Amino acid sequence: MTSHQLARTVEEVDTVVIRFAGDSGDGMQLVGDQFTSTSALMGDDVATLPDYPAEIRAPAGTIGGVSGFQVCFGTSDVFTPGDSLDFLVAMNPAALRANMPFLKSGSTVIVNEDAFIARNIEKAGYAADPLETGELNTFKLLRVPMVKATQEALGAGGLSAKQVDRCKNFFALGLSYWLFNRDIKQTQRWIIKKFSNKPDVLEANQRAFEAGLQYGKDGKLQNHTYATRAKATPRGAGVYRQVSGNTATAYGLLAAAKRANLPLFLGSYPITPATDIMQVLQQNKEFCNVLQAEDEIAGIGSAIGAAFGGALAATSTSGPGFSLKAEFINLAVMTELPLVIVDVQRAGPSTGLPTKTEQSDLLQALFGRHGESPLAVVAASSPRDCFDATIEAARIALKYMTPVVLLTDGYLGNGSEVWRVPELDELPVLKTHLVTNPEGFKPYSRDPETLARPWAAVGTPGLEHRIGGLEKEDGSGNISHNPANHQRMTDLRAAKIEKIAQDIAPTEVYGDADADLLVLGWGSTRGVIEQAIGHVRKRGHKVAGAHLRHMNPLPPDLKALMQKYKRVLLPEINSGQLAYHLRGKYLVDVVQFNKVEGQPFRADDIEAKIESLV
Amino acid sequence: MTIVPTANLGLKRQDFLSSIDPKWCAGCGCYSVLRWLTGTFPTMNLPREKFAVISGIGCSSRTPYYVGTYGFHTVHGRAMTVATGLKLSRPDLSVWVMTGDGDALSIGGNHFIHMIRRNPNIKVILFNNQIYGLTKGQASPTTSKGKKTKSTPYGSIDPPIRPLSMAIAAGATFAARVADTDGQLMADILQQAADHKGAAFVEVLLNCVIFNDGTFSHLTEKAVKADTTVTLKDKEPLIFGNGKDRIVTIDGFRPQVEAYVPGSPLPDNALVHDVAVEDSSLAFLLSNMEHPDLPVPVGVFRKVQQTAYDDHYAPKGGDLMRVFRGSEAWMEDAQGHISLLGAQVAAASAA
């Protein structure tokens, strides 16, 4: 623990949910990032929810321009970034107003009171100053003159008033560090590194950060501080870091290529919220080839070309781009080339809510192409699970010579949590169907175990052959218009995907296996469902939970598992896509629980639903 | 790992034909491209497996099936994306794209522009027959204005695209044009394209015997071709005509035709070709010369040396664990004690 606190009392807490909110230009994401990495480094578990507008800098002071970063930190029960806020740091009236729905009775609201001037109050849509009207009476309101205090700390230096104002986020960060007894060293180092080429800004930020700390130490905020309790059970020995879902996905691709002993190729096009995957790989060009393509179609086209040449190939996108790639995905289905297609789902249809999350591309992933076009679909369940899910997608692609859709979403992609960094040799070795022997080579012969065809990469002597989108003759791969052959090939393509089920482990049931109610989930709802089940069980109800990684093929035991329970509750951040699919496939009913607000589920919503069913 | 030619392998044209007989219409210009393409490959001293022929959709795009190398018949308009990914991933390969006027300039127009501007070491042959052949005769982006086709029964109202102008505007480092009937020039141009380090774009004026027969006959018929075309030669003036008695001169930015006495001194305003000039204005001007006011240039319009895109791609590998750990990882022991990793400790002590 740190040595700087002078507070009279330190209150021990298990878990805290705090949100930093301000204008898009106020540096709230930076504050949240620093607060989170420091907390993680102090041994806390963390789960984050960056919540930012689609506009880069919407008019300052307006609700539309509010950018927030929510983090849940602590030593137990950290499954999600949290339903409602224990603490809100609001840099202006709009940030306060936009986050009112997330406050609960007794929440602490720390406001930058300097921003509560008539113009800002009006811009936020308040009729009168909310700090004065009494509407915050149910909360613990702490008013801090952040701008004045920052100005005071910086003195009459060489910085403009605007530059000084831009340091106030570091003041807020410093104050928060004092309030929660965070270790300041990590952030001090970070500031030095980040601003090393701008000495005046470096010094200003250091002083603002120190001033925030000092403001707390001087007892100007309140008299007591908080500290998270030490963990009951340590995380286990190992190397840890904080990781976002998109970074974990990019690392998963790097790891998969390494473990398959293949070069990695990513063809991609910038699209929110998937762009980071491409950017992380671009930063690591010594390990992979990345093409920022001219459009979404070229992204996947280039990846298919790389796959033809023997690379582990991938393309990353979100909903609108996923639609554009559909024709090319079918080429990969027809030519049976390995390919990973990452869809970081966002709220649709059309441009929808680009920065908000949704699970609404499932049916598109399963069925959204012309013709009979089966492929494998896997879903990641948490930011760090994106790493493992990506490796699993690559494993299936290489073992079964098929395109695989990996579904993550904006919540996973941008959210982050603590990740134990595995050693490479802990990861599975990925086998390929690369061939070099010309004897008896047929491009569309089948491996009996997997029904995969051989992978004859361009450049392999003696295996020159032609592939394409026209229907193939079974075995030879020559063009064939034969009716019986088309039936056979259609069946073979479907049977090959079904074969993947042989690799799927029995579905793990957590909670009370003998309950009457099974809560089934898939993808990013894992944390919140598990948390809700935990809470309901603590209240004495029996509930079982199961979570799907493989969306196609589904686990072979799923139908029987669903039939074992009196009722199956299926929460999804869509209008019931998996429910629709399961009913059609198994003729087994489920109780749907759906929400499409562009936000992750709240645990208490799911708890209420569960309690209505037990 | 770029393309490394071996010693003469003794391969012949026949070695580059697949076992499948072409199914183009009798008399189709596509046969000519196949003939000269497979004639070029043996000269490159690369084994067959080092070639990849990539196509989109259309008559032109059937070519890979007839070439005995690796081949990929992809989706409509997108061959250049597949070729780009393949080439970036495998710079050791000789990658050739077969495309048509609809494939490259309409549905694939975006990819055409961007592949050309990136300048990967990929060769593109555009089979320009000014018509959609495989869908049986609709107007294409290069169909002449006023042309009646099945989709333009009252005559096309769309101004046609000039493929070479587009390529040059996109920054083509190699751009050439040849008629399907001119085997000797095609052999020469394909050879130069093969040798070029960077993207090479070759427009072939190609006759569709079924849906657009004779569309280029004013440029290819023996009786008129000397008067209606001019063969570009580097560092030489544009002299043409049956008696070599006409010359292209320039008036401001406007090319024009003047009478010329063979062997006499060149007029001061004679247009003299230069394939290697960095500025692409001359090549662009040449690409705008059209029948009947001016002779239509054939040959190499532009050939300049710039870094090939794939030369930027050379992953060397390294310690992946350093990437995964990043700069902010820490170590925890079984009791939950946290210690910083080496890099951080160093940074911390430096601070």
The residue type at B12: K
> Do B338 and B262 reside in the same domain of the chain?
no
Task: Name the residue among A336, A267, A325, A355 with its Cα closest to residue A66.
Answer: A355
Say whether B75 and A254 touch across the interface (CB within 8 A): no
| Cα A130 to Cα B264: distance, rounded to the nearest angstrom | 92
| Cα A38 to Cα B330: distance, rounded to the nearest angstrom | 11
| Cα B148 to Cα B132: distance, rounded to the nearest angstrom | 13
Say whether B89 and A469 touch across the interface (CB within 8 A): no
What's the rounded mean pLDDT across residues B66-92? 98
pLDDT at residue number B159: 97
CA angle centred on A377, ends A371 and A383, rounded to 5°:
145
| Cα A29 to Cα A34: distance, rounded to the nearest angstrom | 9
The dotted CATH code for A9-228 is: 3.40.920.10
| Residue A577 pLDDT greater than 70, yes or no | yes
Contact of A363 with A459, CB cutoff 8 Å: no
> Do B258 and B296 reside in the same domain of the chain?
no
| Cα B47 to Cα B43: distance, rounded to the nearest angstrom | 11
Residue B6 lies in a domain: no
What's the rounded mean pLDDT across residues B100-112? 98
| Residue A175 pLDDT greater than 60, yes or no | yes
Which residue in this structure is represented by tokens 């990684």? A549
> Do B336 and B259 reside in the same domain of the chain?
no
pLDDT at residue number A7: 45
**Per-residue tokens: B183:** 């085997």
* Least confident stretch, A251-260, A458-467, B298-307, B335-344: B335-344
Buried b (16+ CB within 10 A) or exposed e, B166-177: bbbbbbbbbbbb
Q: What are the φ and ψ backbone dihedral angles of A563, each rounded to 5 degrees? A: -70, -20
| Cα A94 to Cα B277: distance, rounded to the nearest angstrom | 59
Domain count, chain B: 3
What's the rounded mean pLDDT across residues A120-144? 96
CA nearest to B95 within chain A:
A458
What DSSP element (H or E) covers A141? strand A140-144
SS (H, E, C) A24-49: HHHCHHHHHHHHHHHHHHCCCEEEEE
Residue B7 lies in a domain: no
Which residue in this structure is represented by tokens 């309030």? A179
Contact of A572 with A525, CB cutoff 8 Å: yes
Give which of B19, B89, B119 to mutate to test A binding, by max A Cβ within 10 Å.
Answer: B89
Contact of A103 with A86, CB cutoff 8 Å: no
> Do B195 and B338 reside in the same domain of the chain?
no
What DSSP element (H or E) covers A151? helix A146-154
Strand-pair category, B51-55 with B94-100: parallel
What's the rounded mean pLDDT across residues A4-26? 84
First CA to last CA distance, chain B: 42
- Give how far the C-alpha of residue B269 lies from the chain's centroid of Cα atoms, to the nearest Å: 31
Residue B4 lies in a domain: no
The residue type at B103: D
Residue B22 lies in a domain: yes
> Do B218 and B335 reside in the same domain of the chain?
no
What DSSP element (H or E) covers B339? strand B338-340
> Do B257 and B339 reside in the same domain of the chain?
no
Q: For A316-346, what is each residue's pLDDT tens digit?
A: 999 999 999 999 999 999 999 999 999 999 9
Residue B83 lies in a domain: yes
> Do B142 and B56 reside in the same domain of the chain?
yes
Task: Name the residue among B233, B191, B323, B130 with its Cα closest to residue A283.
Answer: B323
Give the number of residues written for chain B: 351
| Cα B64 to Cα B60: distance, rounded to the nearest angstrom | 9
Give which of A241, A243, A312, A458 to mutate to test B binding, by max B Cβ within 10 Å.
Answer: A458
| Cα A71 to Cα A59: distance, rounded to the nearest angstrom | 25
Confidence of residue B344 (pLDDT cuts 50, 70, 90): low
> Do B66 and B168 reside in the same domain of the chain?
yes
Enclosing domain of residue B280: 13-232+275-312
Nearest to B325 among A43, A421, A470 (CB): A421
pLDDT at residue number B5: 82
The single-letter DSSP state of residue B340 is E
| Cα A82 to Cα B299: distance, rounded to the nearest angstrom | 68
Residues of chain B contacting residue A41, judged by C-beta atoms under 8 Å apart: 328, 330, 338
Residue A289 Cα, gap to closest chain B Cα (Å): 6
CA nearest to B115 within chain A:
A294
The residue type at A433: H
The count of C-alpha atoms lying within 13 angstroms of the C-alpha of A259, restricted to the half-sphere facing its C-beta, is: 25
Q: What are the φ and ψ backbone dihedral angles of A77, each rounded to 5 degrees? A: 65, 30
**Would you call A575 helix, strand, or coil by DSSP?**
coil
In DSSP terms, which residues pair with B298 in a beta bridge?
B231
Mean pLDDT of chain A: 95
> Do B124 and B182 reside in the same domain of the chain?
yes
Residue B69 Cα, gap to closest chain A Cα (Å): 5
| Cα A409 to Cα A413: distance, rounded to the nearest angstrom | 6
**Per-residue tokens: A237:** 């020995």
Say whether A305 and B89 touch across the interface (CB within 8 A): yes
Task: Name the residue among A603, A514, A519 with its Cα closest to residue A564.
Answer: A514
Give which of B2, B3, B72, B116 to mutate to test A binding, by max A Cβ within 10 Å.
Answer: B72
| Residue A143 pLDDT greater than 70, yes or no | yes
A509-613: CATH topology: Rossmann fold (3.40.50)
| Cα B166 to Cα A171: distance, rounded to the nearest angstrom | 55
pLDDT at residue number A438: 97
Residue B19 lies in a domain: yes
What's the rounded mean pLDDT across residues B283-310? 97
Residue B317 lies in a domain: no
Omega of the bond prior to A59 within 30 degrees of 0, cis? no
> Do B194 and B332 reside in the same domain of the chain?
no
In DSSP terms, which residues pair with A567 in a beta bridge?
A517
What pTM value is reported for the model?
0.95
Residues of chain B contacting residue A423, judged by C-beta atoms under 8 Å apart: 321
* Least confident stretch, A354-368, A593-607, B3-17, B273-287: B3-17
> Do B211 and B87 reside in the same domain of the chain?
yes
Strand-pair category, A376-379 with A403-409: parallel
CA nearest to A255 within chain B:
B320
Q: What are the φ and ψ backbone dihedral angles of A313, each rounded to 5 degrees? A: -115, 145
**Per-residue tokens: B209:** 């015997």
Residues of chain B contacting residue A463, judged by C-beta atoms under 8 Å apart: 49
pLDDT at residue number B287: 98
| Superfamily of domain A241-422 in the CATH hierarchy | Thiamin diphosphate (ThDP)-binding fold, Pyr/PP domains (3.40.50.970)
**Per-residue tokens: A92:** 């202006």
The count of C-alpha atoms lying within 13 angstroms of the C-alpha of A312, restricted to the half-sphere facing its C-beta, is: 29
Residues of chain A within CATH 3.40.50.920 domain(s) are: 509-613
Burial of B39 (0-12, 13-18, 19+ CB in 10 A): middle
pLDDT at residue number A162: 85
Task: Name the residue among B38, B64, B45 with its Cα closest to residue B186.
Answer: B38
Q: What CATH number has the domain bearing residue B86?
A: 3.40.50.970
What DSSP element (H or E) covers A168? helix A168-179
Residues of chain A within CATH 3.40.920.10 domain(s) are: 9-228
Residue B250 lies in a domain: yes
> Do B241 and B197 reside in the same domain of the chain?
no
